[in-house]
A and B are shown apart, each in its own frame.
Chain A
């Protein structure tokens, strides 16, 4: 595992702030009617994407979930092409054909957000198969939620990866809800990582609000995969500060304000910022300057997206097949 240098700490923080500001603005744009369709945002879960992706290069692959913007940003996605995709513009990563739920960029190894819960796991296993087939030390990461751990795809992917000893890490972002159903009502276990034992792989639980903890646990699992020792199930306990979809969602009364506020006291960005301040690795002024510069990046990216053209209607049937 790469030693946790000050440079890496700084990069982790930048990554988390970029995700937070991207998502906050995406939420506003959706509320203003500028982004069509559903939008599942990553606010509250930033430490996981940042901590895992810090170990990866463009050659490593990930598969994502409904909640994929943070994963793509951390994997090297550019804000302008991402906003353009959320707007459905032709300049977006998917030429406006996929939107938020299918956002992808194969060039940086991001094999797509996915509209089907759990479907990314077997696909990541396939990417890991490629890595082994080609005798590389690349790894594939499958992000998924507590809800997805009840899908058959999770179980088949876990078993297949373990028995074929493939270089994949299954990263569970346990935010306590499968859509609107609390974990206690959708599975009879507390730790999704317990399921690893059933497949003969290590299961690790980590505080998903602490980016350094995620970084360290992910580093061990990824090292293990790169060395050919097989998959790991890494469960990160986290929380989504926004609703399942949208900022305020559909107004369902399924969790209390008190619960949300309790989790917000453990905001991963606040926790990490305080750590960096305490360690004198950053000043308030540094943090403010960084936020300003990222705000400018966000504004420029939104402007790019707004000014980009819609796909021409003649592209409707393009890319169904390749010739």
Chain B
């Protein structure tokens, strides 16, 4: 039998952390239900919902037709009448199919109704490239979502945050979009067995440093950590901020870090133009202009759809090498 000490250090993959979070929150809140394409019978195409049907039955784990507008619209109506829907949109790219339900219904109903409606909806979806899934199954479209008042948006990088942010998202009485990352599914990390929440709207310092602040979104946290090790060999001590929640954004943590390091870089997998990096860079220059020794650097994907060919895809995605190269330029090394 494991003692408390080894339990604390239990490491499980990102996919299992999500699965455990789904099970625990559905156990805790009996007004929750799981809805989506192939979430029940096969437990989700990524395995994130395995066992949910067996544990909670067909009334709370529902396979739907391939019908994203119907799924999200149903969630809006169910939430407005008192339930707490957890819906899965298999790939983030499919948000395009249900963008009216996200944009014009879910995000706005509370405001339009003068506060009369409460919509505790969690939309779980999978973003990111790196698996040769090509242009319609690989995007990072968080910029679409952070622009919509009424929505909260989280993007967990670690297994710990995947479980804790998911549980917090479901408990939150606002609509929350949880963007998981498909390339991170196998990444292992420490995850407590018990249920816990990672508070929405709070960033995490993924690595402490003094010379450069990198704000990295989602899986890019790992690329930034890798880059930081390489930069350390050059004597550059990098601080990495993982925002975890993109909306509402924890500006304070970023600004505090930049005021310490005087240099900032934003890294995300989404296309650079119009990506969240622009917003973060703008906030840094508004709130910490006098502390900056150089313009805020931004790394994102080039202005192109995600390619299929593995070589092209690797060239397309931001990675540690690109971060190191940009950091050297920024620090004039």
Say how far B324's CB is from chain A's closest CB, in angstroms: 39
A123 touches B112 (CB 8 A): no
- Closest CB of chain A to B256's CB: distance in Å? 24
CA distance A125 to B152 in the complex (A): 24
Are A106 and B116 within 8 A (Cβ)? yes
Specify which of A93, A106, A121, A129 is in contact with B78 (CB 8 Å cutoff): A129
For chain A, residues 113 to 158, give those with C-beta under 8 angstroms from any C-beta of chain B.
114-116, 119, 121-131, 133, 140, 152-153, 156-157
A104, A115, A164: which contacts B116 (Cβ < 8 A)? A104
* CB atoms of A112 and B100 under 8 A apart: no
Chain B, residues 61-89, CB within 8 Å of chain A (1/0): the string is: 01011011111111111111111010000
> CA separation between A121 and B115, bound complex, in Å?
22
Q: In the complex the two chains form, what is the Cα distance from A25 to B69 in whole Å?
A: 37
Docked-complex contact A126 and B78, CB < 8 angstroms: yes
Query: For residue B85, which residue of chain A has the nearest CB?
Result: A126
Indicate if the CB atoms of B101 and A321 lie closer than 8 Å.
no
Question: Is A320 on the interface with B (CB-CB < 8 A)?
Answer: yes
Asked if B195 CB lies within 8 Å of chain A CBs, one says no
Known: A97-B113, A164-B62. A129 touches B77 (CB 8 A): yes
A20 at the A/B interface (Cβ < 8 Å)? no
Check A319–B70 contact: CB distance below 8 A.
Answer: no
8 Å CB contact of B74 from A96, A122, A152: A122
User: CB distance B115 to A126 under 8 Å?
Assistant: no
Q: How far apart sit A129 and B71, CA to CA, in the bound complex (Å)? A: 11
Q: Is B194 engaged at the interface, CB distance under 8 Å to the other chain?
A: no
CB within 8 Å of B: which A139-197 residues: 140, 152-153, 156-157, 159-160, 163-164
**Minimum Cβ distance to chain B for residue A105 (Å):** 8
Whether the pair A94, B110 counts as a contact (CB closer than 8 A) is: no
Contact B77 A125 (CB under 8 A): yes
CA distance A104 to B73 in the complex (A): 17
Interface residue? B117 (CB, 8 A)? yes
B78 touches A130 (CB 8 A): yes
A113 to chain B: closest residue by CB: B112
B114 x A319 contact (CB < 8 A): yes
Contact among A97, A153, A319, A322 for B69, CB-based, below 8 A: A153
Q: Determine if A63 is an interface residue (Cβ-Cβ < 8 Å).
A: yes
Q: How far, in whole Å, are A152 and B69 apart by their CA atoms in the complex?
A: 8
A140 to B62, CA, bound (A): 20
CB distance from A152 to the nearest CB of B (A): 6
Asked whether B78 lies within 8 Å of A116 as measured between CB atoms, the reply is no
B149: CB under 8 A from chain A?
yes
Q: What A residues does B72 contact at CB under 8 A?
A: 122
- Name the B residues within 8 Å of A63 (CB-CB): 77
- Pair count A-B, CB < 8 A: 143
Q: B160 near A: Cβ within 8 Å?
A: no
Contact A126 B104 (CB under 8 A): no
Q: B150 to A320, Cβ gap below 8 A?
A: yes
Contact A116 B77 (CB under 8 A): no
In the complex, A63→B113 CA distance in Å?
13
A257 at the interface (CB under 8 A from B): no
B67 close to A126 (CB less than 8 A):
no
- Tell me, in angstroms, the Cα distance from A61 to B83 when the chains sit together: 14
Whether B115 contacts A318 by the Cβ 8 Å rule is yes
Contacts A157-B70, A320-B150; A130 near B112 (Cβ below 8 A): no
Cα distance A131–B59 in the bound complex, in angstroms:
12
Question: Is A153 touching B77 in the complex (CB atoms < 8 A)?
Answer: no
A105 to B112, CA, bound (A): 11
Is A224 at the interface (CB under 8 A from chain B)?
A: no
Q: In the assembly, what is the distance between CA of A318 and CA of B116, in Å?
A: 12
The residue among A104, A116, A122, A140 with the most chain B CB atoms within 10 A of its own CB is: A122
Nearest chain A CB to B246 CB, angstrom units = 15
- In the complex, what residue of chain A is closest to B101 when comparing beta carbons? A122
Bound: A96/B77 CA distance, A: 22
User: CB within 8 A of B64: which of A98, A119, A153, A160?
Assistant: A160
For B62, what are the chain A residues with a Cβ–Cβ distance below 8 Å? 164
**Bound state CA distance, A124 and B149, in angstroms?**
24
Whether A123 pairs with B76 at a CB distance below 8 angstroms is yes
Report if A319-B115 is in contact (Cβ < 8 Å); known contacts: A133-B78, A157-B73.
yes
Q: Answer whether residue A102 sits at the interface, using C-beta atoms and an 8 A cutoff.
A: yes
User: What is the 8 Å Cβ interface bit string for chain B, positions 110-150, against chain A (1 contact, 0 not)?
Assistant: 11111111100000000000000000000000000000011
CB-defined contacts of B117 to chain A, threshold 8 Å: 104, 106
Q: Within the complex, which residue of A95, A119, A129, A156 is in contact with B115, where a contact is CB–CB below 8 Å? A: A95
Pick 26 A–B contacts, CB within 8 A, sort by A.
A94-B116, A95-B114, A95-B115, A97-B113, A97-B114, A98-B113, A114-B105, A119-B104, A123-B76, A123-B77, A126-B74, A126-B75, A126-B76, A126-B85, A130-B77, A130-B82, A133-B33, A140-B77, A156-B67, A156-B68, A157-B73, A159-B70, A319-B113, A319-B114, A321-B152, A321-B174
Closest 5 CB pairs of A and B: A126-B77, A122-B73, A95-B114, A156-B70, A319-B115
Q: A126-B80, A320-B110 are in contact. List 14 more A-B contacts (CB 8 A).
A: A97-B111, A116-B100, A116-B104, A119-B100, A122-B72, A123-B77, A123-B105, A125-B77, A127-B77, A130-B83, A153-B70, A159-B70, A321-B150, A321-B174
Footprint of A on B, CB under 8 Å? 33, 59, 62, 64-65, 67-83, 85, 100-101, 104-105, 109-118, 149-150, 152, 173-174
